[in-house]
Structure 1
Amino acid sequence: MEDEIDFIIDTAKEGMENAITHLKKQLQNIRAGKANPSMLNGVLVEYYGSQTPLPQVANINTPDARTLSVQPFEKKLIPEIEKGIMQANLGFNPMNNGENVIINVPPLTEERRKQLSKQAKAEGEDAKIGVRNDRKAANNELKKLDVSEDLQRDAEKDVQELTDAYIKRIDEILDNKEKEIMTI
């Protein structure tokens, strides 16, 4: 019986950890004012007839905090990279110098910062919902077990403590992201 309870709790923990990983991934896509190569991860480029992610056809660097430099592996891709960046609708205006595509990352307006902050909070809420769903699933599994009430109550308490810890981690991650977004 103890093994089954431990398995249920471990499964819930794994699901909650996945919610945190997903949240971090989603928050990476939310721009915080500084140039970051991951901003261009969603850009697709026409490469030999198929849509290819930009990082697979070029090196992306940040020469300074407000500039992204995209160096294609093949120079003939420069127009396609510029087109892909424009189609990604990121609000960037790419320029090229014949060798690289250069993107000046404009500073965020106060209104845009607030929008991005709301977007980050929405992602955080989704992560919290995922954690709560994992708690619910674990509690339902615990109820199906044929164990004493005390053992079941203790296991549910452990699941709740786990849930509280992961919700707290999500809040900390969101606070950090919000500070990053609101810092000029």
Structure 2
Amino acid sequence: MSFERTFKPEETSYVAQDTMVQILPRFRCDRVPFLADEFGPFMPNVPVLVPCWLALALNENGKCTVELGDWFAAESVLATQKNEKTDTKGFQPLPQYFIEQARCISKYVTEDMSMHVHLEHILSLRQSKIRRAFRLLRHDTMRETIEEGYRLPSETACSEFNSIRRFTCAAMDNFNELLASKVS
């Protein structure tokens, strides 16, 4: 059994665009049916939840303002960055698709380039924590690590899981081969 399938960044970005975000419409319209669901009604300056893809399309046409979540506010991003630095073992709680959302939304919505830098730094800090966790598993402390019940934090984002999937799947394939050879 092989566990090789991983998602490309474009695929996770596509899935992330189904995440609901709040917008402030600049137009009036009844509920609008789409293939999967209906959205609206839309009234000027009355918040409404829509998928990210619809928010971006409306924003691009000047039909709405995208209300970025609390996690995307400058103060929150800076606090998250600071906490990621100080907490060496856990992850700060962020949306499952925070990486894809941040890249997609900030590309079209925010002009603050410093926000991109802070978000990339958070991503870098989290990736280094994942690499450190795998180094622990590779060294001779593996027995103690397993006995302590090491696990990835529950706040691990989708793209972070995706980035380690290839390694862990290959490791599981090797483990299964070893088990099969011991049984034979």
TM-score, shorter chain, exceeding 0.5 = no
TM-score bucket of the superposed structures, by smaller chain: 0.3 to 0.5
With the length of structure 2 as denominator, give the TM-score of the two structures. Answer: 0.34
The structure carrying a bigger helix percent of its residues is: 1
Greater RCO, CA 8 A, separation 6+? 1
The structure carrying a bigger strand percent of its residues is: 1
